[in-house]
Chains A and B, each alone.
Chain A
Amino acid sequence: DTGVSQDPRHKITKRGQNVTFRCDPISEHNRLYWYRQTLGQGPEFLTYFQNEAQLEKSRLLSDRFSAERPKGSFSTLEIQRTEQGDSAMYLCASSGAGAWSQYFGPGTRLLVL
């Protein structure tokens, strides 16, 4: 049983460019979560999906951010017109139906120059 995977692991981009990250949850986990972690802080919740439905979005998720989970499997997180303040580690986690424990992927570290 493979764990949560994320791609890419690192991304360097210039301000104003769009970036997209992918998360593959543990198979058969129906819940998928995105978090953002800045240096020296704990992860902050961004959004979550149950199957393909996006059920909650944090106010941290500005209009430049969009997340999808087509067919309830992998998920993508897109940031449009990146800003330097978007530099952070983007973490994905998944959990099974009725389960409260979330398992995290290795994260995508984004640097916006």
Chain B
Amino acid sequence: AQKVTQAQTEISVVEKEDVTLDCVYETRDTTYYLFWYKQPPSGELVFLIRRNSFDEQNEISGRYSWNFQKSTSSFNFTITASQVVDSAVYFCALSEASTDSWGKLQFGAGTQVVVTP
């Protein structure tokens, strides 16, 4: 069963618009970590953020912000005032703390963000 769902396949915006990427996850573990990675056309996965299951504080880093809500099993990502350089595929991932899967990342299918000038 898919543990991480990114329902949006592609989002197209015009530069300076805000864009929100949805991520819904599924786990029975009480301890887990959630991640967002960016994959630009060059192909390398760039780490953006990690949150643990006990920390529901939202986080802002420059134009990026993340909204973690355990009640809805969601970890959404917003890019404010998008720029052309934000064009990439963004992946949400889950890592569960249970012994047999420690550290393994389970990725969603990704959301392609296209920012046009």
Is the beta-carbon distance between A33 and B43 smaller than 8 angstroms? no
Q: Which of A40, A44, A89 contacts B43 (CB 8 A)?
A: A89
Is the beta-carbon distance between A42 and B104 smaller than 8 angstroms? no
Chain A's nearest CB lies how many Å from the CB of B55?
12
Tally of A-B Cβ pairs under 8 angstroms: 58
A contact residues around B45 at 8 Å (CB): 43, 91, 93, 104
Question: Please, what's the 1-or-0 string for B34-67, where 1 marks a CB less than 8 Å from any CB in chain A?
Answer: 0101000011111100101000000000000000
A93 to B101, CA, bound (A): 16
Chain B's nearest CB lies how many Å from the CB of A60?
12
Flag the segment in A12-20, A62-70, A71-79, A105-113 that touches B.
A105-113
With most chain A CB atoms within 10 A of its CB, the pick from B45, B91, B106 is B45
B contact residues around A101 at 8 Å (CB): 35, 47, 50
Is the beta-carbon distance between B43 and A102 smaller than 8 angstroms? no
Is the beta-carbon distance between A103 and B43 smaller than 8 angstroms? no
Is the beta-carbon distance between B43 and A106 smaller than 8 angstroms? yes
B13 within 8 Å of A (CB atoms):
no
Given contacts A89-B43, A101-B35, A107-B43, 16 further A-B pairs with CB under 8 A are A41-B109, A42-B91, A42-B108, A43-B91, A43-B107, A44-B107, A45-B104, A45-B105, A48-B104, A91-B45, A100-B50, A101-B50, A102-B47, A104-B45, A106-B42, A106-B44
Please name 26 pairs of A and B residues whose Cβ atoms are closer than 8 Å in the assembled complex, sorted by A: A33-B105, A40-B109, A41-B110, A42-B93, A42-B109, A43-B45, A43-B105, A44-B107, A45-B106, A56-B104, A89-B43, A93-B45, A100-B33, A100-B50, A100-B52, A101-B35, A102-B47, A102-B105, A103-B47, A104-B37, A104-B44, A104-B45, A104-B47, A105-B44, A106-B44, A107-B43
Chain B residues with CB under 8 Å of chain A are 4, 33, 35, 37, 42-47, 50, 52, 91, 93, 95, 100-101, 103-110
Chain A residues with CB under 8 Å of chain B are 31, 33, 35, 40-45, 48, 56, 89, 91, 93, 95, 100-107, 109
